[in-house]
Amino acid sequence: MKRKVISYILLTTGVTIVLGYLVYALICFSVDENDIKCKNLVIEVDGKIELIKSGELNDMLRDHQLHPIGQSLNRLQTEQIERFLEQNPLVKKAVCYHIPDGCVFVKVSLREPKFLVMTNENYYVDQQKKILPVPLHAVAYVPVVTGRVTRSMAQGTLFDFVDFIEKNSFWNAQISQIHINEDMKVELVPRVGDTAILLGSLDNYEEKLNRVYRFYKQGFKVMGWNRYNKIDLQYDDQIVGIRNERDSEN
C-alpha cells in the first residue's frame, strides 16, 4: 500500500513538473511578431556606378518616417518602403523584406547612365532613355554631350547616335565628346589630337562615319589627320579636310 502511495506521489509530481515546463516554454519561447521589433536594417546597393549610397537611402527613410528600426515586423510596410525608394529617379528597383530574428533587408538596383548632357542643365540619360539627375558625389565615365541639346533629342536621335558610337570599337576609341552647335549641327571632338569632325545633321550618320573610316584606312592612317583642323562630312559623298593654318602655309 505504501509503495502505491509513493508511486502515485512520484507520478503526480512528474506530471506537474512536465506541465509546468510546457507552460513555461509556451510563455518564453512562443514567436509572436507583435512582440518582435526590427533591430537592424541592412541596405544593399547594386549598380555599376554608385549614384546613390546606402547611407543616403537610410537617411531618406528616416526623414520620411519609414525607417523600420523599432517597428513591429507585422506592422512593417515593406511595399510602402519599396514604392518610396522607387520614386527616386536614380533607383530602378527596390525590394524590402524581413526575417524572423528582426533584421530588415532593403536591396536597391540603380539605373545605369549611358551618357552625360552638359548644357544649361546637367543630367544623365540612362540605358532606358530615362533622365537622371547628376549627384554631386558620383562620377560616371560616359560619353559627354554639350551644346544645344533638348531632352527630346537626348532621348531620341541623339540616344541612337551615342549607342552607335558606343558599340563601334573604332569610333568609341576615337570620340570623347559630342557637341551640338547653335544651328543644331553635330561636331565630334576626338580623344587624341585637335581634329574635329563636322558631321552636320544626324541624318545618315552611319554612312558618313563609314566614309571617314574607309578614307582613314586608305590614307589618313599613314599620314595622320592631325594636319587637318576639321574634317567636314556635311556634303554628300565627299570628305572636306580643312587644313591647319601652319600646314596651309607650307
Summarize pLDDT for 1-47 with one digit per residue, the tens: 545 545 545 445 544 554 454 444 444 444 454 568 889 999 999 99
153-170 pLDDT, tens digit per residue, is: 999 999 999 999 999 999
DSSP conformational letter for 48:
S
DSSP conformational letter for 217:
I
pLDDT at 216: 74
pLDDT at 10: 43
Instruction: Tally Cβ neighbours within 10 Å of residue 181.
Output: 12
d(C-alpha 162, C-alpha 209), whole Å: 13
d(C-alpha 243, C-alpha 230), whole Å: 7
d(C-alpha 219, C-alpha 227), whole Å: 13
pLDDT at 115: 96
**Cβ contact 195:231 at 8 Å:** yes
> Smallest Cα–Cα separation from 138: which of 46, 50, 55, 57?
50
| φ, ψ (nearest 5 deg) of residue 146 | -125, 175
Mean pLDDT of 203-213: 88
Domain boundaries, the chain: 40-110, 113-248
Rg of the chain over all Cα atoms, to the nearest angstrom: 33
d(C-alpha 153, C-alpha 160), whole Å: 10
123-148 pLDDT, tens digit per residue, is: 999 999 999 999 988 888 899 999 99
Right CATH for 113-248 from 2.60.120.620, 3.40.50.11690, 3.40.50.720, 3.90.105.10: 3.40.50.11690
pLDDT at 169: 92
One-character DSSP codes across 61-73: HHHTT---TTSBG
Tracing cell 505504501 back to the chain, one arrives at 2
Q: What is the mean pLDDT of the chain?
A: 82
pLDDT at 211: 84
Q: Please, what CATH class does the domain formed by 40-110 belong to? A: alpha beta
Which band of pLDDT confidence, cut at 50, 70 and 90, is reported for residue 212? confident
219-236 pLDDT, tens digit per residue, is: 655 455 566 777 788 777
Query: Would the CATH topology of 40-110 be identical to that of 113-248?
Result: no
